[in-house]
């Protein structure tokens, strides 16, 4: 099986939409087609193509892949800022006006509609570099080091790319004997093991499997495989119980989770 997202999926999906609109005029509710078959769109939307995609008239349009890159949900603000700037420059106060504007520009340029114009720009125009191999062949940064439970390059990517907010970080205690200015932890009730952290981690290994896996649900802790630590409330603080074979890590975990910047949860709810 093959999974596509981002630039290649955007190119294929818009091209398919263009072919359908050519083959079935007046059927799809896209732009000025006037059809009654609604078309939703979720394929490689990013800051560079959000405005143009919305201008084609597909509704609703959703964003996923770009939010799984470093910056996470923070990437939405630049997208919306770019959209606002382009709409303002064109004198459009809402999306219907923006769609009409993009359709008019497309027709004036000799295209059937905004969808056809978008395809032409991707294949033959100034947008080609955004979707070609040359513009997308750069791989995530890598370092020649195997990821370990304690100590890493502390790039924070596992925190920012996690779609479930399952990772958090804590300062490394002084005189702890472990490397790195920060240590990283996984809240297992939030982690669905999607693998996105492993995609962007520059070290070799899966952060969701290697970094300390913390549980607050006793039943989940008892049934899940691999290393793990159960957290319970104890005298206003956090008690740590390790899965068999990982008991040596308990003192270190206890110190960090009960520090002033400890577990990002109310201890009384654990």
Task: Write phi, then psi, for 13 (nearest 5 degrees).
Answer: -70, -45
SS3 160: helix
List, for residues 201-237, the tens digit of each pLDDT value: 999 999 999 999 999 999 999 999 999 999 999 888 8
**Neighbour-count burial for 28-55, b at 16+ CB within 10 Å, e otherwise:** bebbebeeeeebebbbbbbbbbbbbbbb
Strands 182-187 and 167-171: antiparallel
22-45: pLDDT as tens digits: 999 999 999 888 889 999 999 999
Average pLDDT for runs of 10 along the chain of length 270: 77 95 93 88 94 94 90 92 97 96 96 95 83 76 88 92 94 84 95 93 95 96 94 90 95 92 74
Supply 192's token pair.
């669905």
Q: Which of 103, 104, 112 is nearest to 23 (CA)?
A: 112
Domain boundaries, the chain: 6-135, 157-269
pLDDT of residue 127: 79
Provide DSSP, 28-88: EESTT---SEE--B-SS--TTTHHHHHHHT-SSB---GGGGSTTGGGGHHHHHHHHHHHHH
For 128, phi then psi, to 5°, come to -55, -40
Copy the structure tokens of residue 175: 């005189």
Q: In the 8-state DSSP scheme, what is residue 110? A: T
Which pLDDT belongs to residue 92? 97
Residue 16's CB is within 10 A of a number of other CB atoms, namely: 12
Distances (CA, A) of 48 to 27, 130, 131, 134: 29, 8, 11, 16
The set of residues, in sequence order, having a beta carbon less than 8 Å from that of 1 and lying 6+ positions away, is none
Task: Round to whole Å and give the CA distance between 158 and 126.
Answer: 34
Structure token digits, residue 88? 């303002």
Exposure string over 76-86, b if 16+ CB within 10 A, otherwise e: eeebeebbeeb
Q: Are strands 28-29 and 237-242 parallel, antiparallel or unpaired?
A: unpaired
pLDDT of residue 24: 93
CA atoms of 75 and 179, how far apart (whole Å): 31
């Amino acid at each position: 099986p093959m999974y596509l997202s981002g630039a290649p999926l955007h190119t294929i999906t818009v091209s398919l939409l263009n072919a359908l609109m050519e083959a079935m005029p007046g059927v799809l509710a896209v732009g000025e087609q006037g059809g009654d078959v609604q078309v939703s769109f979720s394929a490689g939307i990013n800051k560079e193509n959000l405005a143009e995609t919305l201008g084609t008239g597909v509704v609703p349009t959703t964003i996923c892949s770009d939010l799984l890159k470093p910056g996470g949900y923070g990437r939405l603000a630049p997208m919306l800022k770019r959209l606002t700037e382009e709409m303002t420059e064109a004198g459009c106060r809402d999306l219907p006006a923006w769609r009409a504007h993009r359709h008019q520009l497309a027709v004036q340029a000799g295209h059937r509609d905004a969808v056809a114009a978008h395809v032409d720009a991707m294949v033959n125009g100034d947008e080609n570099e955004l979707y070609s191999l040359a513009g997308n062949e750069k791989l995530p940064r890598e370092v020649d080091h195997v990821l370990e439970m304690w100590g890493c390059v502390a790039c924070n990517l596992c925190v920012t790319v996690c779609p479930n907010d399952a990772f958090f970080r804590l300062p490394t205690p002084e005189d702890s004997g472990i490397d790195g200015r920060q240590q990283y932890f996984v809240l297992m009730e939030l982690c669905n093991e999607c693998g996105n952290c492993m995609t962007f981690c520059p070290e070799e290994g899966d952060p969701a499997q290697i970094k300390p896996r913390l549980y607050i649900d006793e039943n989940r802790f008892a049934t899940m495989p691999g290393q793990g630590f159960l957290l319970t409330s104890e005298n206003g603080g956090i008690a740590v119980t390790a899965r068999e074979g990982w008991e040596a890590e308990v003192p270190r975990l206890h110190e960090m989770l009960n520090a002033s910047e400890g577990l990002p949860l109310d201890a009384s709810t654990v």
